[in-house]
Amino acid sequence: MLLLQYLQNNGEHITLEQVDKPDKICTALKDPLDFALEHERYVTSLINTIYDAAHQVKDYRTMQFLDWFVKEQGEEEKNAEDMVKKFELFGSDPKSLYMLDAEMAGRAYSAPSLVL
């Protein structure tokens, strides 16, 4: 929502398109973790592309706005990588997925610290 609000605050017209359902099929316990890591890396690449475009046109205000997202995505990628590593540490024991699920359920949501 922060990106939408930023664009609206800067006079941009926004049209939200349909988002297709994921085409991923899980055949192994580790698949959701691998897919999550792959997705976080994809989101990072999108943010980097926007940041690069802002840099090329010297849109420093947008670059400053995006700094929060760059930092946040670094944290999200690290979390996803850590989950994959923890699962690999446990091997193929299905109990490991339960433990990771419990750990993830214990994560507390914190609202973005970015103010527009």
Task: Specify the pTM.
Answer: 0.85
- Per-residue CA distances from 91 to 23, 53, 87, 94, 95 (Å): 26, 42, 6, 9, 10
pLDDT at 115: 66
Query: In sequence order, which residues have a C-beta less than 8 Å from that of residue 106 and are 6 or more positions away?
Result: none
First to last CA, the chain: 11
| Boundaries of every domain in the chain | 27-105
CATH code of 27-105, in short, is: 1.20.1260.10
**What region does 79 belong to: left with phi over 0, alpha with psi -120 to 50, or beta?**
alpha
Q: Which residue has the higher pLDDT, 115 or 76?
A: 76
Determine the 3-state secondary structure of 114 from DSSP: coil
pLDDT at 109: 81
Highest mean pLDDT among 14-18, 19-23, 53-57, 111-115: 53-57
Q: Which residue has the higher pLDDT, 106 or 78?
A: 78
pLDDT tens digits along 58-96:
999 999 999 999 999 999 999 999 999 998 988 777 787
- Per-residue CA distances from 52 to 21, 29, 66, 70, 110 (Å): 28, 36, 10, 12, 28
Q: Which amino acid is at 46?
A: L
pLDDT band at 116 (very low <50, low <70, confident <90, very high): low
pLDDT tens digits along 1-40:
899 999 999 999 999 999 999 899 999 988 999 999 999 9
